[in-house]
Amino acid sequence: MSNTISHTSHKINPYGLDSIDLIRFEPEHLFLRPKVVKALAAFRKRGKELGFDLRVESAYRSFDRQVSIWNRKAKRELPLLDAKGHLISKDIKNPEELVKTLLLWSALPGASRHHFGTEIDIVDASAIPHGYAVKLTPEESHKMFKPFHDWITEEAESFGFLRVFIPGRGSIQPEPWHLSYIEEARLFQELFDLKELEAIYMDSDIAGKSVLLENLEALAKDYIYPYFL
């Protein structure tokens, strides 16, 4: 049975497979669900009053885009990093080891919360030194963005946004910069069905496909379900 529901005239799904009623927001030219854009505008305005320049680094991401990132890291066309964030130069022949390594810094395609159109990665543009390229690391959050993160801790929830990737929850590294507009995200969490994801993988040319298909339930327990709030 298909686990998509009819929403206005479109079908929505949690796997990044179609447009799911997204709208573009500025000045970033990124896409989110309409209610999230509205909440973001209010949150951004409040930040501005306090001297923060809230900038969204990442919002909606499609399944194809996430697979492309995943596969290019597997092929080393993009840098593959170890747990400390250092470049891995050796070849990883064992497909299980490769999947585990990819999962350190990449979400499972089809199970990234960025597929929902309700998630944002944010920084304070006013705190970025001239010429510095943001990397979204814990170090940035503890140093240049610390006042910004203290404000997020204090006020994000009253605008509907929650941190999801926090220490002690699941196997994904903490990502204090990632916020979920939780009321809308729950619609997608409820629609998520591992059997559907399995069928999507069967049809795709994702790197490590057989490892993913064989271990999907265990992976979901560590990388997906702990974050369904």
By CB under 5 A, name the one of 18, 21, 28, 121 that touches Zn ion. 121
* Chain centroid offset of residue 87 CA: 21
Piece of the chain touching Zn ion by CB under 5 A; list 81-89, 141-149, 177-185, 192-200: 177-185
Selected range binding Zn ion among 20-28, 30-38, 172-180, 195-203, rule: CB under 5 A? 172-180
Q: Compute the distance between CA of residue 46 and CA of residue 160 in angstroms, rounded to an integer.
A: 13
Minimum distance between the CB of residue 178 and Zn ion, rounded to whole angstroms? 4
Helix (H, G, I), strand (E, B) or coil at 74: helix
Does residue 28 interact with Zn ion by CB under 5 A?
Answer: no
20 Ramachandran zone, left/alpha/beta (phi>0; psi -120 to 50): left
7 phi/psi in degrees, rounded to 5: -130, 115
CB of 165 to Zn ion, least distance (A): 8
Q: Residue with the closest Cβ to Zn ion?
A: 178
Size of the site for Zn ion (CB under 5 A): 2
Give the span between the Cα atoms of 48 and 42, in whole angstroms: 10
CB of 121 to Zn ion, least distance (A): 4
Neighbour count for residue 152 (Cβ, 10 Å): 25
Nearer to Zn ion, 53 or 121 (CB): 121
Tokens of 147: 């006042």
- C-beta of 121 vs 198, nearer to Zn ion: 121
Distance CA 175, CA 197 (A): 24
Question: What does DSSP assign to residue 133?
Answer: P
Structure tokens at 170: 């699941």
Least gap, CB of 12 to Zn ion (angstroms): 20
Residue 61 makes contact with Zn ion by CB under 5 A: no
Q: Is 139 helix (H, G, I), strand (E, B) or coil?
A: helix
Decide if residue 55 touches Zn ion (CB under 5 A): no
CB of 177 to Zn ion, least distance (A): 7
Task: Pick from 178, 189, 201, 207 the residue near Zn ion by CB under 5 A.
Answer: 178
Q: For the CB of residue 179, give the shortest distance to Zn ion in the complex, in Å.
A: 8
| Shorter beta-carbon distance to Zn ion: residue 55 or 178 | 178
As a whole number of angstroms, the distance between CA 198 and CA 108 comes to 12
**Interface with Zn ion by CB under 5 A: which residues?**
121, 178
